[in-house]
Structure formats: C-alpha cells, structure tokens
Chains A and B, each alone.
Chain A
Amino acid sequence: MREIIRVNDMTKDYGEGRGIFGFDFSVTEGEVFGIVGTNGSGKTTTLRHLMGFLKPDSGSCSIMGLDCRRDTHRIMKHVGYVPGEIDFPDVGTGTSFLKIQADFLGVRDKKRIAELVDMFKLDTDAPLKRMSKGMKQKTALVTAFMARPDILLLDEPSTGLDPLMRDTLIELILEEKRRGATVLMSSHIFKELDDTADRVLFIDGGRMTELVEKSELGRDMPQTYRLGFKDRGDYERFLGLTRLRVLHKSPEHLHLDVAVPADRLSQLFNEMSSFDMRYMKYRPFTLESYYSEIIEKGGKKSA
C-alpha cells in the first residue's frame, strides 16, 4: 500500500507545554485514520500542519511525497478539508459560497454538490451569518466532499450535527473509503471512529500515547462481561471466589464487570455454575473501553 500521509518526528512548541511533540506516523492509501484526544491535546495543530498553515519547529510532514508547507497548493488539488473552527467568508448565502468554492476547486460537475446538499438536508438559501452551528458544519462538509478528493482531512467533522446526520456522515466517509479515498479525521467521539477508522492514534497533552490497529483491537484483549447476581450473598461470594480480574464493582445494582482473557471463557462458566445468575451480558470492546482501560489508567499512573 502506498503511503499517502507521512509525519516525521514533528514538533511544534507553543510554550508552557502546549503544542505537539515528536509526532511520527503515516497513513496509507485508502485508510481511515483517526486521531483521538481531549480538547487541547493537539488534534487541530496536527491537521493545521498537514494543511500547510503551520510550519513545524522541527521534523516535517508530507502528503503524497510533497512537503506540506512548501508545496501546499499542489497538495490541495487532492485534499478536502473541514476546519475545526467554522467561519465563512462574507459572501451572503450558502448557495453563493458553494458556487465560489466550486470555482476555487475547479468543480464543474454541479451534480455532486446537489447530491451532498440533499444528503445533508441543507438549506443553502440561508444567509451564512444566520446559519446554526449544525448548518454551518454541513456547509463545510459539502465543501470538503464536493470535489471528490483523494484525501480528506477532517477536524472533528461531526461537531454540531444531530445523531441522524452523524450517521449520514459516517456513511459518507465509508462511501469515500470504498471509492479509495484516504481519510484522516480527528474526533473525541469514539463511536464515529469505531464505525469508520482502520487505525486510531491516541494523543494526550501533545504527545502520541498509543496507535491502535482496529482489527486487532479487542482480539487478544480480555473481553468484558457484566454479571448480575440474585442477592448480596451470591455477589459477595463470587467476589471472594473468582480468579478473574474484576474491572468494576456495583454493590447497589449487584453486578460486576469482569475481564475474561480471550481463551478462558470456560473459566467464567465454571465459576458461574454454582450461582443463581440474574443475567450475563457481553460488553463489546470499543475504543471508549480501550481508552478508559488503558489510557486513563496509564495517565493516572504517570501523573
């Protein structure tokens, strides 16, 4: 697979610990690559570098082998971008903005724009200044997708969208991926990356903390089961007896979350056999559980 985006030991130091430090990763063709992190962790700064808006203090980044800062305009022929902060030029309505944007991008085929406007149920006649947050976001999304770009750089693309529209967006991203587009998107909503991303980069305080391959995520990881007990006696007895790792206790609801290593499911059944269970529930492994499992605990340890 061809490497499309390459970030080489890139650092941008804004002082007082803000910025990004030693970022190093690459994104291959046709991949959906997610970046997850809290506010201020460096997601937007990373994307701004890829867009050529910022110059790294050290290191470099390139797209299709072209330096992001030096060859920006050549890279932009292939890139669709949704900025983290949305503010439009002062050109009146959504329609005239989309028209000017199409001119900028050299988009002659207006069919795709109509399709996208329809998909997002966007009212383009509204003046840009009167648009709600969600409408602005949709307008930005139409702009980013209208030229059918090979590469999509999306900075928290679902901000302000309602849940239905968020699903539409996820569908659209998957459609672009099937078409062969490479997507790099930042988010703090795990669900969207669970549904789309092949790999996810966790960042915290401007540093890369973990790079997770989605297909491997959960495979060798312990699986989580929630066990509900009939009464307190059983609950306490199980706690005393089990050799599985207990992730979460909830005496008031009489349930426990236990981590079951992938190859030891039978151990769970053995242990459970002498108990009167209310229920047993498999809790699918998500990025969120991964995050709270690994990252937050790791973060607390180092803090």
Chain B
Amino acid sequence: MLSLPLLKQSIRSNAVMWGSMTGVMTLLCVQFSMLDMTRSLLFTIFYGMMTTILPGIYVLVTANKLLASQVDRGSMAYVLATPTKRSTVTFTQAFYLVNSLIAMFGVQTLAHLATNAAKPIALGEMGYTMLAGDLTSKMIAQVNLSALMVCIALSAVCFMFSGIFSSSKYSIGLSGTFIGVSILANMLAMFGNLGVDGLKNFKYLTICSFYDYQSVLFSGNEWITKLIFPAAIAVAAFTVGELCFSKKDLPL
C-alpha cells in the first residue's frame, strides 16, 4: 500500500516548500501571540486567514507536484517502471500530503502552546468581551484541529485535479481557481461576520466555513460536527483522484 522509497522521494522534493510555509506560519503565530500590537488580532487575522491561506498555497503547489507535474514532465516513468502499483503511488502521495499538513499544524500548534504558556492572553482582549478567562491550551489544540481538517479537504480537492489531469497547466489551473475562490469567499464571509451583512452569504461558497474557531472559543460543540463534512469531502476527492490516476493513459 505504502511505498517507502516514494515517500522518501516526496519528502525530499517537497521539503523546501513545506519548510518555508511551516516557518512562515509558525513565525506569524509567534508574532501575533507575543507582540502587544498584534495580540488582539490573533484570531481575526492569524487564525481567521493565515491558517487557510498559507496551507492553501502549500497544498496547491504540492498536490500538483505529487502527481500531475511528474506525469507532465515524465519523471513518473521512473516510479512506474518499478514494481509499484499506481494505487500504491496515489496512496503514498496522499499519505504524504495529509501527513505533511498534520506536521505543519503540529509545529505551529506547539509553537503557539509555548508562547501561550509564556504569555497568556485573555479572551476578552481579543474582542470576546462576553467570555471570561484566558485562551487555554485545549482551545488552541481544538482550533488547529478544526483548521487542519479543512486544509486536508482543500488538499484532497487539489490532489483530485492532480490525479485527473496529465498536464500541470490544467491541474494547477483548476486547483488554483478552487483554492482562490475558497479563500477569497472565506475572507469576504469573515467581513460579513464583522458587520457587513451583504457579504455573509459568501460562507456558502467555501469549505473553509467548516472551520469554526468561534465555536471553540465559546466552548461549543458545533466545530466537532463540522469536522465531518471536510472529512467526507477529503475521502471522496482522494478516492476520485486515485481512481482517475489508476485508470487513465499516462504519456510517459
């Protein structure tokens, strides 16, 4: 099912992209949670936008590199000229993609837990005046889990396009449109939440709406139910990508 040499190869060829995105995200998180100037915006700016934009860029580029670009350039021939099934290829690449996101959020979460322990922040300070107490470690973990699941769904859709198309330009074109619309609609919907009523309906245009940090901060359970939808989208998209890649003609 899993090909270790391929996993090694994928880690190696995507290390730079993963490293820089994880680095930027972690640095921003540390900055937003530590600096007095920006602390109040930790949720609106950082958790509201950065945790989808940065992983979004990462999955857009990486999902394309994992399948479509290798078929397009022809290097996939070296993988498939070995006793490796096509289904093993897609499984390994999807495994890499999901786990690299888990690692990305893992690093970021650990950094935030550390800064939060060093310099706790009251929920009221971030605009949630109706809530008492500080931001807890549990909340940080839950918010990140919620964001992670949405990012996995985003990655799965990009991976699906990467599996369907043998040409990078189509794979990255459609994935780019998808990521762009998802993130833009999410930002517009956020302005809707902040008071611009006309923009509220944009939340129906994006799967980022299943990422619900407010529910976590209010200690609600909604965010848990909302995990199911991105999870289902991810399973469906990975499956479609797998089937298309295994069935199609490869110009290698």
Which residues of chain A have a CB within 8 Å of any CB of chain B? Answer: 48, 51-55, 72-74, 76-77, 79-81, 83, 85-92, 96, 100-101, 103-106, 143-144
> B201: CB under 8 A from chain A?
no
Is B74 a contact of A72 with CB atoms below 8 Å?
A: no
Q: Chain A contacts of B85 at CB under 8 A?
A: 72-73
Residues 1-15 of B at the A interface (beta carbon under 8 Å): 3-6, 8-9, 12-13
Q: Considering the complex, give the chain B residue whose CB is closest to the CB of A96.
A: B12
Among B76-84, B130-138, B191-199, the stretch that binds chain A is B76-84
Contacts of A90 in B (CB 8 A): 12-13, 65, 75
Of the residues A77, A88, A104, contact of B5 by C-beta under 8 Å? A104
Is B249 part of the contact surface with A, judged by Cβ < 8 Å?
yes
B4, A53: Cβ atoms closer than 8 Å = no
Closest residue of A by beta carbon distance from B73 = A87
Q: CB of B205 within 8 A of chain A?
A: no
CB pair B83–A73 under 8 Å, yes or no, is: yes
Contact A105 B82 (CB under 8 A): yes
Question: What are 27 A-to-B residue pairs whose CB atoms are below 8 Å?
Answer: A48-B250, A48-B252, A51-B81, A53-B80, A53-B252, A72-B85, A76-B81, A76-B83, A76-B84, A77-B83, A83-B81, A83-B252, A85-B252, A86-B74, A87-B74, A89-B13, A89-B70, A90-B65, A91-B9, A91-B12, A92-B12, A100-B5, A103-B8, A104-B6, A104-B82, A104-B84, A105-B83
**Does B251 belong to the interface (CB within 8 Å)?**
yes
* Chain B CB within 10 Å, residue with most, of A53, A77, A101: A53
User: In whole angstroms, what is the CA distance A39 to B86 when docked?
Assistant: 29
Provide the bound-state CA to CA distance between A79 and B79, in Å: 13
Cα A39 to Cα B88 with chains together (Å)? 34
| A2 and B244 alpha carbons, distance in the complex (Å) | 36
Determine if A103 and B4 form an interchain contact, defined as CB atoms under 8 angstroms apart. Answer: yes
A144 to B78, CA, bound (A): 9
Q: Which residues of A contact B74 (CB under 8 A)?
A: 83, 85-87
A51-B80, A76-B83, A104-B82 given; 14 more Cβ-contact pairs under 8 Å: A48-B251, A51-B77, A72-B86, A76-B81, A81-B81, A83-B74, A87-B74, A87-B75, A89-B13, A91-B13, A92-B12, A103-B4, A103-B8, A104-B78
Q: For the complex, give the distance between the alpha carbons of A82 and B78 in Å.
A: 9
- In the A-B complex, the 5 residue pairs with the smallest Cβ-Cβ separation, listed nearest first, are A103-B5, A90-B13, A104-B82, A81-B81, A53-B250
B:33-80 near A, CB below 8 Å: 65, 70, 73-75, 77-80
| A74 CA / B82 CA spacing, docked (Å) | 9
Q: Verify B77–A81 contact, CB threshold 8 A.
A: yes
Contacts of A106 in B (CB 8 A): 83
* A96 CA / B15 CA spacing, docked (Å): 15
- When chains A and B are docked, how far (Å) is the Cα of A91 from the Cα of B6? 11
Instruction: Name which residue of chain B comes closest to A104, CB basis.
Output: B82
Chain B: CB-nearest residue to A77? B83
Hey, which chain B residues are within 8 Å of A80, CB to CB?
81
A72→B85 CA distance, assembly (Å): 7
Q: For B70, give the chain A residue with the smallest CB separation.
A: A89
Which B residues are in CB contact (< 8 Å) with A79? 81
> How many whole Å from B12's CB to the nearest CB in chain A?
5
Annotate B216-252 by CB proximity to A: 1 below 8 A, 0 otherwise.
0000000000000000000000000000000001111
Docked pose: A101 CA to B84 CA in angstroms? 12
- Of all chain B residues, the one with the shortest Cβ separation from A89 is B75
Q: Which residue of A lies closest to B6 (CB)?
A: A104
Cross-chain contact B9 with A54 (CB below 8 angstroms): no
Whether B249 pairs with A88 at a CB distance below 8 angstroms is no
B249 and A100 form a contact (CB under 8 A): no
Residues 88-99 of chain B: 1 if any A CB is under 8 Å from the residue's CB, otherwise 0? Answer: 100000000000
Cβ-closest chain A residue relative to B85: A73
Closest to B86 in A: A72
Q: Complex: how many Å from CA A53 to CA B5?
A: 20
What's the minimum C-beta distance from B191 to chain A, rounded to whole angstroms? 39
A106 CB to nearest B CB, Å: 8
Knowing A96-B12, A104-B84, say if A89 contacts B252 (CB, 8 Å): no
What's the minimum C-beta distance from A301 to chain B, rounded to whole angstroms? 34
- For the complex, give the distance between the alpha carbons of A183 and B3 in Å: 28
Question: Could you tell me the distance between the alpha carbons of A91 and B23 in the complex, rounded to whole angstroms?
Answer: 22
Complex Cα distance, B81 from A144, in Å, reads 9
CA distance A51 to B86 in the complex (A): 12
Closest Cβ–Cβ distance, residue B175 to chain A (whole Å): 19
A85 to B249, CA, bound (A): 16
Q: Is the CB of B84 within 8 A of A89?
A: no
**B12 CB contacts on chain A under 8 angstroms:** 90-92, 96
Bound: A106/B82 CA distance, A: 9
Bound complex: CA A89 to CA B88 (Å): 17
B82 near A53: Cβ-Cβ < 8 Å: no
Which residue of the partner chain A has the closest CB to B88? A73
Residues of B within 8 A of A91 (CB): 9, 12-13
Closest to A80 in B: B81
Tell me the minimal C-beta distance from A10 to chain B in angstroms: 14
